[in-house]
Structures are given as structure tokens and as C-alpha cells.
């Protein structure tokens, strides 16, 4: 998977993300994907991170991360968001119209709580191990 990292201000965070990304992509078996990954470090991001599937329009997945001085938090968020990329790339997670989300073919509406959604449960359960393996390599 080819990737591009964009940062308007925090070059330390950009270099840190660049250092983790190859190992994280390898762990998630995304290295051979033909899709592009665009990562933006944006201090105005309201959440720690967000992932969007723009493959139909642009051929890429977009991850927006809020840069942080706490590199552990930034690395864990990157790992978490990359799990979502893997979920989308493998067809487990799909976004429909009007806020509908499909997980393994089952439709979920807007009413499901964030921490109760199966795609978030999976991402949270995998993020720490992915991150720890990335920093050890």
C-alpha cells in the first residue's frame, strides 16, 4: 500500500507516524493493497482520529489524526485507525447512506453507541498489540 503523510505543522509527529507505518501495514497485511493511504495530521481534528473510505471517489483511504506530544497516544490512535482501514479493505466494514454502517453484512443505524459497535470493539482490542509490536521492531 502506498501512502502519503501530510502535516502542516508538527514535523516530529509526522516522522513518528512515518516510522511506525511500515510495520503496522505489514502486521495488518496491507502492504500489497493497490489502494492509496492518505494520512493527515491536523491539530483541528475534533477526535483523536478518524478514518474515511474515499476509494470510490479518489482510490484512497483517508486517516485524519490529531498530532499529540504524547507519542504513545498518537501511535495507538494510528494503529486503531489502520484497523478500520483493514476492515474496509477486507469488506467487513462498509458505510452506506444516511449514516448506516454495515458490519459483516449486518446494518447498524446511528443509534448504536460508539463503544458498543463491533468494528470499534475490534479496533480497540487490536490497537495496543499492533502498536507495541511496531515500536519493538
| Residue 50 confidence (pLDDT) | 95
| Residue 17 confidence (pLDDT) | 95
Within its chain, how far is the Cα of 21 from the centroid?
11
Instruction: Determine the angle formed by the axes of helices 118-136 and 71-89, rounding to 10 degrees.
Output: 120
CA atoms within 13 A on the CB side of 129: 8
* pLDDT in single tens digits along all 137 residues of the chain: 999 999 987 689 999 999 999 999 999 999 999 999 999 999 888 889 999 999 888 889 999 999 877 999 999 999 999 999 999 999 999 988 777 899 999 999 888 899 999 999 999 999 999 999 999 98
Angle at 96 between CA 94 and CA 98, to 5 degrees: 145
Distance CA 76, CA 93 (A): 20
* Tally of domains in the chain: 1
| Residue 60 confidence (pLDDT) | 93
Phi, psi of 26 (to 5 degrees): -65, -45
| Residue 84 confidence (pLDDT) | 97
Which domain, by its residues, includes 95? 2-136
Phi, psi of 123 (to 5 degrees): -65, -45
| Residue 6 confidence (pLDDT) | 94
Determine contact, residues 65/39, Cβ cutoff 8 Å.
Answer: yes
Amino acid at each position: 500500500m502506498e501512502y502519503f503523510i501530510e502535516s502542516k505543522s508538527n514535523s516530529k509527529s509526522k516522522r513518528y507516524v512515518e516510522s511506525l507505518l511500515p510495520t503496522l501495514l505489514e502486521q495488518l497485511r496491507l502492504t500489497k493493497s493497490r489502494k492509496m493511504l492518505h494520512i493527515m495530521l491536523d491539530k483541528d481534528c475534533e477526535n483523536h482520529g478518524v478514518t474515511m473510505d474515499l476509494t470510490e471517489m479518489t482510490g484512497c483511504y483517508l486517516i485524519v489524526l490529531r498530532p499529540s506530544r504524547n507519542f504513545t497516544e498518537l501511535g495507538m490512535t494510528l494503529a486503531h485507525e489502520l484497523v478500520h482501514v483493514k476492515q474496509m479493505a477486507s469488506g467487513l466494514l462498509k458505510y452506506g447512506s444516511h449514516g448506516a454502517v454495515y458490519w459483516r453484512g449486518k446494518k447498524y443505524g446511528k443509534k448504536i453507541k460508539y463503544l458498543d459497535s463491533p468494528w470499534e470493539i475490534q479496533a480497540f482490542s487490536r490497537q495496543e498489540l499492533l502498536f507495541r509490536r511496531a515500536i519493538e521492531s
